[in-house]
Amino acid sequence: MSNDEENRNTFKISYHRDFTSLSNENTDRYIDESNSNNSITYIEVDARLTKDGRIIVAHSNDLIVDGKHVRISDLTYEKARDLSISDRNKLINVREAVYLFNGGVIITPRFDGDYVPLCNELIRELVPIKNNLNIIIQSTSVEVLSYIRRNSALDCQLVITDKNYQYANRFERLSIDHYILTEKLYKELAIREKKLAITTINNERDIDTVLNYVGDGYKEIIFSTTCPYLIYSKLNERDRSRQESLWNWKVYYGQLISLQYYLLFV
C-alpha cells in the first residue's frame, strides 16, 4: 500500500464541495483536486437528470455558462456534457465520478417532482459496477432511499432531519449535522450499531466538540467537511494521543507486574 493510500484509509473524511473553491461544482476538476489531497476518503456529488433522462453530476440545476443562464433539466445529455463551467471545469456523468476518484463516492439524488426516473437511472448506472467500489446513496427522503433499497443492493444513508428522525431505525447508515449531535445521541446510536456520518465540520471548535462526544469511536465515523486537511490533522492528533496513552498504560502495567514479582520473592 502506498503512503497516499495508507493516509486515505486511516480515517473516514468526506470532502463536501466548497463554494469558495476554484472547482465550485461537481466537475472533473473537483475530482482532480480531491485526488491530490490524500486525506480525503470520500467525495460528495449530486446527481441530476437531463431532459432526455440521463444523469449529470451537478449540485445545482441552474448554471451560468459563458455568462448565460442554463438549466440542466432543459438540456439533453450531450448538450450538458459539452458545457464548461469555467477553465478545466467540465460536467461529468455519475460513472465517471465513481471511476475518476481514488476512494469512495457519496451521491445525493437531486430531483423536482417524481423521483422514480432518477432512482431507476442511478440503479441502472451503478449496480453493474458497485461490487468493487465504495458507493453510498444519501438523501433526506425516506421514500427515495426505500425505493433504491427495494430495487438494488446499493448502500443507502439517511440524512437526519427533524421530520424523518422517526425513521432512523430503518437504516443502517445515518448522516447527522454536528449541530444536532450530542454525547447522549451518539451513545444511543452506537448501541444500535448505526454507521454514522457527521456533517459539516469546518473548524477546530466543532471537530473538538464532536471528538469529545464520540470518544474512541472516531475511526468508524465519516466526517464531512470542506476543510479535509484540518479534520485529518485533528484526527491524527487524537490518534497519536490515544496511542501514547495506551503505551503509557502498558508501561505502567508492566512495572506493576514486575513489582508484584519482586515483592513475592523478596
Q: Give the chain's mean pLDDT.
A: 86
How many helices and strands in the chain, by DSSP H and E? Answer: 9, 13
- The stretches of 11-62 forming alpha helices (DSSP H) are 28-35
CATH for the stretch 3-238: 3.20.20.190
pLDDT at 136 over 90: yes
Q: Cell triple for residue 232?
A: 485529518
Q: How confident is the model at residue 26, as a pLDDT?
A: 79
Q: What is the pLDDT of residues 183-239, one digit of tens each?
A: 999 999 999 999 999 999 999 999 999 999 999 999 999 999 999 999 999 999 998
- Rounded CA-CA distance 67/76 in Å is 20
Domain boundaries, the chain: 3-238
Span 75-128, pLDDT tens digits: 999 999 887 776 567 889 999 999 999 999 999 999 989 999 999 999 999 999
Q: For the chain, how many residues are written?
A: 266
pLDDT at 27: 83
Backbone φ and ψ for 215, nearest 5 degrees, come out as: 55, -130
Q: Which residue has the higher pLDDT, 57 or 26?
A: 57
Q: Nearest CA to 122 among 89, 101, 145?
A: 145
Residue 142 has pLDDT above 50, yes or no: yes
Read off the C-alpha cell for 200: 459539516
CA distance 163 to 175: 14
Is pLDDT above 60 for 12?
A: yes
Q: In this structure, what is the dihedral angle of CA atoms 142, 146, 152, 156, given to the nearest 10 degrees?
A: 30
What confidence score (pLDDT) does residue 88 get?
60
Interatomic CA distance for residues 83 and 66, integer angstroms: 9
Report DSSP state, residue 88.
T
